Structure 1
Amino acid sequence: MVSPDELVKLDLRSLATRLSGGSPARSELGTQEWLAVVQLLTADIMHDAAGLSREDWTLVARAYDYAVDTAIAAGDFDHREKTYRALHLSSDLLGQVPPNPDVELLDPHRMTDVLIRELPMPVEQARALAKRWMTLERSEILRLRIAKDFLRPGLKLAHRAYGEQLPEPLKSWEDVFPSLP
């Protein structure tokens, strides 16, 4: 049985090695403890990013995927939260380290694909709803806010991937972004 205190004491490589090997098992930690593991791992990745080798990144990416997927299975957050966290982490990491097409979090093209795939509605619908967002049902406003939350880091990633000439639908999303609630 692994305690959260043991995990906190590990350096990033040791923590990533354990997690990528499937330890601890989902049942060994509670729901809130899995959230803490994701937050610990994310903070360690951000802190040590510049010093990681290509091999380290492969290990760290597997550990991150395991921690997040296990936290979802434990019921602490959902797929939307996973996407939100990944977009933000990727955007922040790419401010510190060069892109790496072998690691999804470090590949702005792949992360832009994640953004497009996970946006909660087509851009045309978002544009139409944004014009009258104050009259919408709460659930529709929430969908627009989710889109904006995804776009904030996602558009930065898109510009890293494509430069100033964004392809569609990214250009349209960039145009509608300021009008989202």
Structure 2
Amino acid sequence: MSTVEIRPVTGTAVEPWLDALAELRIAVFREYPYLYHGELEYERCYLDRYAESARSVLVLALEYNRLVGAATALPLREADEALQTPFRQLGVELDSVFYFGESVLLKPYRGEGVGHRFFDLREQYAADFGFRQTAFCAVTREDNHPARPADYWSLDRFWRARDYFPQNQLEANLDWTDVGGNAPSRKVMQFWLHSL
């Protein structure tokens, strides 16, 4: 059992952790299914919105004050426009949804309940702020993708056990360069929703 401390920080208090989170995102999202070839400059720009939001939360997983995992959340209205668009198109009130950005955790710390703590604390913040729903999105890849590892298992069962369900009518399109790729390509991001 590791000695991981879970610590939520909010608003401007997330700022000191953003550089480490940027590096962590790049490391974890290189894995299948994201296969994300990230760049620090883009990551820091993307993460700045969490420091700028008064209602953002960053749940840190720390081992001896070293960031080994993190989960982010903020009001959907303050998220990227590409993430808001599918909700607007369906007429969903953006102010009712608290958006969960990422949950990233280094491999040696998985399977110890950290993922559940990430969801527990973000859901509590969403409820405290008065939101009615929480949402996140995950990349969709075909089952026979050539980079899919033989031992890969989807997180769908974990998410469903927490009462999150995929919303076929809510999809976002994001572009990034895959590991080993030469140029960005479009990815479909499936939204999962949970009612508080």
TM-score using structure 2 length: 0.30
Instruction: Kindly name which structure, 1 or 2, has the bigger radius of gyration based on alpha carbons.
Output: 1
